[in-house]
């Protein structure tokens, strides 16, 4: 191990062993104050390799972030920056111990790699209890991290490890079927594509010398030994194979789902308006379902991880954890139950406090699909059916131009009447905003810098609803059986559309596009990256085994009748005079006219 001199006042313990209840040993890096004492613990546990430097493993994302937010790289040597985790140099001086753990089968931890499994959740609970009982711990452990490191928190918190004091779930899915791997029953390329092999299997324990080296310790990130390919394969559960094998919401997914009612610790759930596909729905659904009486929701915009690392993001995390891990007076007592960064075109956000979701006073407007001019009309409409090729641009319906500024914030839904020339149909919906010239206004998404307002999906054979869990604005599908279509026979489809937030300027139009494939716009790029993006990256749906052309390369037909209206349900928020507002990005950047950055890292959740 190479010598690393920690910053003054910090002690680092590398590769500390933690033995699980079945004897498997996980490895942790512990960053703690040098002054003896009992400190609160900020813990993370995941498969990305605790020794993989952010700057090396995710170089383009790192450069984009610090170009846009130089503050992230200030006040720290950046030696210990790791993907989606806190920088110890910004936390240890404030009296926290930061514990980073490679999850089972990943990095320098032995065992079989089976991501987000019940076994992994139990491991995380064991790690919490280990950290809560060390000499340097005050017995209060909080879990903090983005995405994967957030998703796992719902599971662990529902198991109630005694020393868990709070969770901060930053852009983390809650339902791995609906939020991540099978949107509306359609297989997502997130689960079927390169994420698992490129980001997780690449640092599986045993990759050893074929993998990266920690620039700090000089050790192999993926373990001290190098195993052959057959052994590595035997020591991991392949995600794509599981997603293809489990097309319904079966025990595979249920075993990875938290008992949300059992969560009783304080929860801060932070989601992203631009996160349709992974980093949005789960934060809201998890917040609503969590049994804790002490829970807060914060919704922001921008890229997937930049808000987490900015001074503003770190301050929010420390106000929350400082209150519940240290007992400090951080002002958290005044935090509203819901804090929204309300989005305007041009990536302008203003902060507003709310008390419930959907928002108090929401006016639910039905915009009916009218085939006579392809408009979204206040009144039901009948008319001729519309055919569209599932490989084509789809059909777009537009509202009239808004006569006054109008806010739309909350969940959406659509009801369609559709037939297919085959035995199934995949329905893709894109809710879009168009300026007075008819040009689409796109937004910075978590993983793509030009995304529509929001998206919805449904496989028609999965149209069966759960009547106990469905709401008019949030249809909930059971996904427990396939009900094939009869070719050319009309079916009624209720489609969940993920929440959104936008203040629509006067003269703009809202649009709904119905497609038989993913929404796509003109290919575009982000700085420091050669990847071409089209508006949904990396949450597309293109796997031929899940979407065989014989079934899904076809013609679908939309049908319209006064006695069976088709519509888009939209949450309109009445104007609220006198509400304090803060330009969020201007507050972050210290200026009123600079826009948020584009697309940190297109392919990495």
* pLDDT tens sequence across 30-74: 999 999 999 999 999 999 999 999 999 999 899 999 999 999 999
148-202 residue pLDDT tens = 999 999 999 999 999 999 999 999 999 999 999 999 999 999 999 999 999 999 9
Phi/psi for 94 (5° steps) reads: -90, 10
Give mean pLDDT, residues 474-497.
Answer: 98
Give mean pLDDT, residues 382-408.
Answer: 98
In this prediction, residue 524 carries a pLDDT of 93
SS3 content of the chain, % helix, strand, coil (to 5): 25, 30, 45
- Model confidence at 577, pLDDT cuts 50, 70, 90, reads low
Beta strand pairing call for 363-370 and 375-377: antiparallel
How far is 95 from 39, CA to CA, in rounded Å? 6
CATH fold match for the domains 10-335 and 363-573? no
- Would the pLDDT of 89 be above 70? yes
Give mean pLDDT, residues 122-148.
Answer: 98
SS3 sequence of 107-131? CCCCCCECCCCHHHHHHHHHHHHHH
CA distances from 41 to 10, 168, 410, 500, 539 (A): 14, 13, 35, 34, 34
- Would the pLDDT of 579 be above 60? no
Give mean pLDDT, residues 503-514.
Answer: 98
Residue 433 CB partners (closer than 8 Å, separation 6+) = 345, 440, 441, 452, 453, 502, 504, 508, 509, 510, 511
Reference 259, options 347, 357, 158; nearest CA is 158
Angle at 276 between CA 365 and CA 196, to 5 degrees: 160
Region for 559 from its dihedrals, namely left if φ exceeds 0, alpha if ψ lies in -120 to 50, beta otherwise = beta
Asked if residue 473 lies in contact with residue 358, where contact means CB atoms within 8 angstroms, the answer is yes
Residue 522 structure tokens: 């003109």
Reference 12, options 84, 102, 80, 104; nearest CA is 80
> Whole-number mean pLDDT of the chain?
94
In this prediction, residue 338 carries a pLDDT of 98
**Three-class SS of residue 550?**
helix
341-385 residue pLDDT tens = 999 999 999 999 999 999 999 999 999 999 999 999 999 999 999
In this prediction, residue 528 carries a pLDDT of 75
In this prediction, residue 3 carries a pLDDT of 59
Q: pTM for the full model?
A: 0.94
In this prediction, residue 529 carries a pLDDT of 77
How far is 322 from 331, CA to CA, in rounded Å? 10
Regarding predicted confidence, which is higher, 581 or 299?
Answer: 299
How far is 473 from 567, CA to CA, in rounded Å? 12
Superfamily for 10-335? Alpha/Beta hydrolase fold, catalytic domain (3.40.50.1820)
Q: Note the maximum CA span of the chain.
A: 77
Domain positions in the chain: 10-335, 363-573
300-357 residue pLDDT tens = 999 998 999 999 999 999 999 999 999 999 999 999 999 999 999 999 999 999 999 9
- Would the pLDDT of 77 be above 90? yes
Question: 363-573: what CATH class?
Answer: mainly beta
Q: Tell me the β-bridge partners of 272.
A: 300
529-558 residue pLDDT tens = 778 899 998 999 999 999 999 999 999 999
- Would the pLDDT of 597 be above 90? no
Regarding predicted confidence, which is higher, 273 or 594?
Answer: 273
């Amino acid at each position: 191990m190479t010598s690393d001199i920690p910053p003054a006042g910090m002690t680092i313990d590398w590769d500390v062993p933690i033995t699980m209840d079945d004897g498997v040993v996980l490895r942790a890096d512990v960053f703690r104050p040098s002054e003896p004492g009992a400190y609160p613990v900020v813990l993370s546990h995941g498969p990305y390799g605790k020794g993989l430097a952010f700057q090396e493993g995710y170089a383009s994302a790192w450069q984009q972030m610090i170009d846009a937010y130089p503050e992230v790289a200030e006040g720290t040597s950046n030696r210990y920056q790791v993907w989606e985790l806190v920088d110890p140099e910004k936390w240890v001086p404030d009296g926290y111990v930061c514990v980073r753990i490679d999850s089972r089968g990943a990095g320098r931890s032995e065992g079989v790699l089976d991501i987000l499994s019940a076994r992994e959740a139990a491991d995380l609970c064991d790690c919490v209890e280990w950290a809560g009982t060390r000499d340097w711990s005050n017995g209060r452990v909080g879990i903090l991290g983005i995405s994967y490191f957030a998703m796992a928190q719902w599971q662990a918190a529902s198991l109630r490890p005694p020393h868990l004091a709070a969770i901060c779930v930053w852009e983390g899915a809650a339902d791995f079927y609906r939020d991540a791997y099978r949107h509306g029953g359609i297989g997502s390329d997130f689960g079927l594509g390169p994420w698992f092999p490129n980001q997780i299997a690449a640092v599986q324990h045993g990759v050893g010398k074929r993998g990266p080296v920690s620039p700090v310790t000089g050790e192999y990130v993926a373990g001290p030994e190098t195993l052959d390919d057959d052994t590595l394969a035997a020591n991991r559960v392949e995600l794509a194979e599981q997603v293809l094998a489990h097309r319904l919401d079966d025990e595979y997914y249920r075993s990875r789902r938290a008992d949300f009612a059992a969560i009783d610790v304080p929860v801060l759930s932070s989601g992203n308006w631009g996160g349709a596909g992974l980093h949005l729905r789960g934060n809201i659904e998890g917040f609503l379902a969590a049994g804790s009486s002490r829970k807060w929701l914060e919704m922001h915009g921008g890229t997937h991880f930049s808000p987490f690392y900015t001074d503003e993001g770190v301050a929010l995390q420390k106000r929350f954890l400082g209150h519940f891990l240290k007992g400090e007076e951080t002002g958290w007592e005044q935090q509203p139950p819901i804090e929204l960064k309300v989005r305007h075109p041009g990536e302008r956000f203003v902060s507003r406090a709310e008390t419930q979701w959907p928002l108090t006073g929401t006016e639910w407007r039905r915009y009916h699909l009218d085939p006579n001019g392809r408009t979204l009309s206040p009144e039901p409409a009948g008319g001729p059916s519309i055919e569209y090729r599932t490989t084509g641009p789809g059909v777009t319906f537009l509202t009239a131009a808004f006569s006054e500024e109008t806010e739309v914030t909350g969940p959406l839904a659509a009801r369609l009447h559709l037939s297919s020339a085959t035995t199934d149909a995949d329905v893709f919906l894109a809710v879009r905003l168009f300026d007075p010239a008819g040009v689409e206004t796109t937004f910075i998404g978590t993983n793509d810098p030009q995304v529509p307002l929001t998206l919805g999906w449904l496989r028609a054979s999965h149209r069966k609803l759960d009547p106990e869990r469905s709401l008019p604005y949030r249809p909930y599908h059971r996904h427990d059986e396939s009900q094939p279509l009869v070719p050319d026979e009309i079916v009624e489809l209720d489609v969940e559309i993920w929440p959104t937030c936008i203040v629509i300027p006067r003269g703009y139009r809202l649009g709904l596009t119905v497609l038989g494939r993913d929404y796509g716009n003109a290919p575009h790029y982000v700085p420091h990256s050669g990847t071409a993006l089209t508006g949904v990256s990396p949450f597309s749906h293109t796997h031929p085994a899940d979407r065989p052309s014989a079934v899904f390369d076809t013609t679908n037909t939309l049908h319209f009748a006064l006695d069976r209206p088709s519509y888009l349900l939209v949450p309109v928020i009445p104007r609220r005079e006198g509400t304090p507002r803060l330009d969020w990005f201007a507050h972050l950047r210290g200026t009123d006219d600079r826009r948020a950055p584009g697309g940190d890292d297109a392919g990495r959740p």
